[in-house]
């Protein structure tokens, strides 16, 4: 029997502006998955999603198609959409790519960002620290994503940004996973502070090392959580047979 869990904080209702409605519905469902409203392997009933977002089935279905293309969900015949469950091996592959690309982004930012972009990154880091201390799970994740957006903007490499955006949903899912670990938020901030220091010194090589180390440390935490989840699932399955 599935244990009851407290619902994560957050309002997933979406604004009614026609020009942004489709995007808003997709973002709302994506955020609900990322903060644990729907767990890996859990079904996404259309009726529940309509009630959660306050929109029609048509818009929900369009959002689900987009999330499927991002690799965040998959559709099982006769069962419907289900939140994807990343394996430790899949996570390891994603982190290997992230380490190279985000390390490069840190280096390029340190070497090429304008003064305005450096200021924006520093402000994003301060906002991230506030969110990590006082924010909800969704606010923490949003602040972390905003920090990385400023980093990519200042890196000034379109191919790099496009490549990371293709992985964005799965990267966010892993980011959300690693942030669950006790003490990880504090360590994450310390690692990113090293990136900020290297950027301020315009030391590209140091920024790359700091950015790569941050991803490697997050990888260790997230992959261990995924492995523990797989082991628990196997034990539960064995006990049920």
Residue 12's pLDDT is 76
Summarize pLDDT for 101-128 with one digit per residue, the tens: 999 999 999 999 999 999 999 999 999 9
Residue scoring higher pLDDT (193 or 239):
193
Residue 36's pLDDT is 86
Summarize pLDDT for 1-42 with one digit per residue, the tens: 444 445 566 667 766 655 578 889 999 999 999 888 998 889
Q: What is the mean pLDDT of residues 66-84?
A: 92
- Inter-residue contact 189 to 48 (CB < 8 Å): no
- Give the whole-angstrom CA distance, residue 120 versus residue 130: 15
On the question of a common fold for 16-83 and 88-237, the answer reads: no
Residue 1's pLDDT is 46
> How many CB atoms are located within 10 Å of the residue 146 CB?
17
Q: Which residue in 30, 26, 38 sits closest to 62, CA to CA?
A: 26
Summarize pLDDT for 76-104 with one digit per residue, the tens: 998 899 999 899 999 999 999 999 999 99
> How many CB atoms are located within 10 Å of the residue 139 CB?
18
- Give the whole-angstrom CA distance, residue 155 versus residue 112: 7
Residue 144's pLDDT is 92
- Inter-residue contact 32 to 172 (CB < 8 Å): no
Residue 171's pLDDT is 87
Residue 96's pLDDT is 96
Q: Give 45's DSSP letter.
A: -
Q: Which residue in 192, 184, 176 sits closest to 139, CA to CA?
A: 176
CATH topology classification for 16-83:
Arc Repressor Mutant, subunit A (1.10.10)
CATH topology classification for 88-237:
1.20.120
- Inter-residue contact 73 to 83 (CB < 8 Å): yes
- Give the whole-angstrom CA distance, residue 80 versus residue 43: 7
Summarize pLDDT for 148-176 with one digit per residue, the tens: 999 999 999 999 999 998 888 888 888 88
Residue 20's pLDDT is 75
Domains of the chain, by residue range, sit at: 16-83, 88-237
Residue 174's pLDDT is 87
Rounded to the nearest 10 degrees, the angle between the axes of helix 115-134 and helix 137-155 is 170
- Give the whole-angstrom CA distance, residue 156 versus residue 139: 26
Residue scoring higher pLDDT (175 or 236):
175
């Amino acid at each position: 029997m599935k244990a009851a869990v407290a619902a994560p904080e957050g309002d997933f209702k979406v604004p009614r502006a026609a020009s942004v409605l489709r995007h808003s519905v997709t973002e709302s469902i994506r955020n609900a998955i990322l903060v644990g409203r729907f767990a890996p392997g859990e079904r996404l009933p259309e009726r529940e999603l309509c009630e959660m977002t306050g929109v029609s089935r048509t818009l929900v279905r369009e959002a689900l198609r987009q999330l499927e293309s991002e690799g965040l969900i998959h559709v099982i015949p006769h069962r419907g959409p289900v939140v994807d469950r990343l394996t430790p091996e899949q996570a390891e592959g994603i982190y290997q790519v992230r380490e190279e690309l985000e390390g490069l982004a840190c280096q390029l930012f340190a070497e090429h960002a304008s003064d305005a972009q450096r200021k924006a990154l520093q402000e994003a880091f301060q906002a991230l620290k506030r969110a990590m201390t006082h924010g909800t799970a969704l606010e923490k994740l949003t602040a972390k994503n905003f920090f990385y957006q400023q980093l990519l903007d200042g890196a000034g490499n379109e191919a790099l940004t496009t490549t990371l955006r293709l992985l964005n949903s799965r990267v966010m899912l892993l980011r959300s996973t690693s942030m669950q670990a006790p003490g990880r938020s504090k360590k994450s901030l310390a690692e990113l502070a090293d990136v900020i220091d290297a950027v301020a010194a315009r030391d590209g090589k140091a920024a790359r090392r700091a950015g790569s180390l941050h991803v490697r440390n997050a990888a260790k935490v997230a992959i261990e959580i995924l492995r523990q989840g797989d082991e628990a699932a196997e034990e539960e399955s064995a006990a049920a047979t």
